[in-house]
Amino acid sequence: MKFIAYNVRQDEQNYFEKWAKENAVPVKLVTEELTDENLPLAKGYDAVISFQTGVYPSDLFDKLASYGVKDISIRNVGVDNLDLASAKANKIAVTNVPAYSPNAIAEFSVATLLQLLRNQNIYRKRMAKNDYRWAPFVGKEIRALTIGLVGTGRIGKAALEIYRGFGAKVIAYDPYHDPKLEAQGLYVDTLEELVSQADVVTLHMPGSEGYLIDEALIKKMKPGAYIINTARGSLIDSKALLEALKAGRLGGAALDTYEYETPIFNHDLEDIGVKDELFNELVALDNVVMTPHIAFYTETAVENMVTIALDSAKAVLETGTAPTLVE
């Protein structure tokens, strides 16, 4: 049994090496993400350990099957960029890491909301010019707001507990109700009902086909409401969001993920800049907090992502299945 891991960052390397030693399983580490050019490196390996939010090679599973690979174990949650039908046709198991640290993402989402509510962008810019006046940018308190959770899985529930600690009123929407939360009367029936009541709409769900938050839904949101997205960039129509922010219909947005983020996030663009004008307009707004998909990025989460992905691959090869198997 031997594995190959792609897109291995320096902060992950020790966890890979520790696991390989403890489990007596060789793991080849490749720093580049998985591409058509380096896919042949997987020849002769039993499992591929991968992490990327962008595009995989179109014939990924056909090639992996021809190489003898039996499992692809991804170190993240989302599988929307993988052709699961092709994986099944080629009899290649797919596993993910459904919960590497719900608290990491939940905490980050609340932290970015606090930056919005307390006008941190504006004060940072003022202080850079030695302007230390307060007015007229008075802040808001979380406990005075209605928080609308979209998605009540592990991350959504972690966020719920944090918001309750602040004393906020929380409502939730999820097609699949958690019985305990339902008994508490948290759920509303539709997404439209949630956005019409919530001062803050915070997204904690997987990617979906089409936009979840589009122009029509934004128009149904409360005037001055905030959007928090630490989930998937594809959930929000970025152009419609920008127009609503510029027009003052929304109070602000905290975006840790962006619809067209693949060529931007986790790349050093200091010398060439960002060519995406939509992104540049969003980032320039005082009422937008943009971060490069780092909500997950804590020591605990990184270790869990590596070890769970490796454990899952090992389980598939030894038993034919794993608790994290994606059906």
Whether 3-100+299-319 and 102-290 share one fold: the answer is yes
Query: Domain 3-100+299-319 is classified in which CATH homologous superfamily?
Result: NAD(P)-binding Rossmann-like Domain (3.40.50.720)
Q: What contacts 76, CB < 8 A, 6 or more positions away?
A: 51, 53, 96, 97, 100, 296, 305
Distance CA 103, CA 131 (A): 36
Which tens digits make up the pLDDT trace of 148-159?
999 999 999 999
Instruction: Check residue 245 and give its pLDDT.
Output: 98
Share of the chain above pLDDT 70, in %: 100
CB 298 within 8 A of CB 105: no
Distance between CA atoms of residues 157 and 186, nearest Å: 11
What CATH number does domain 102-290 carry, 3.40.50.720, 1.10.580.10, 3.30.420.40, 3.30.2350.10? Answer: 3.40.50.720
The answer to whether residue 53 scores a pLDDT higher than 80 is no
Q: How far apart are CA 118 and CA 139, in angstroms?
A: 5
Comparing 21-25, 245-249, 260-264, the range with the smallest average pLDDT is: 260-264
Question: C-alpha 204: how far from its chain's center?
Answer: 8
Reported as a pLDDT band with limits 50, 70 and 90, residue 55 is confident
Does the structure show a pLDDT above 80 at 105? yes
Give the relative orientation of helices 238-246 and 277-284 as an angle to the nearest 10 degrees: 40
In the chain, alpha helices (H): 10-23, 60-67, 84-89, 102-117, 120-128, 154-166, 179-183, 191-197, 215-219, 238-246, 277-284, 299-319
User: Which residues are designated catalytic?
Assistant: 232, 261, 293
**Tens-digit pLDDT profile for residues 253-286:** 999 999 999 899 988 999 999 999 999 999 999 9
Q: CB 146: neighbour CB atoms within 10 A?
A: 17
- Does pLDDT of 78 surpass 90? no
What's the pLDDT at 292?
96
Q: What are the boundaries of each domain within the chain?
A: 3-100+299-319, 102-290
What pLDDT is stored for residue 99 in this prediction? 84
Q: What percent of the chain has pLDDT over 90?
A: 93
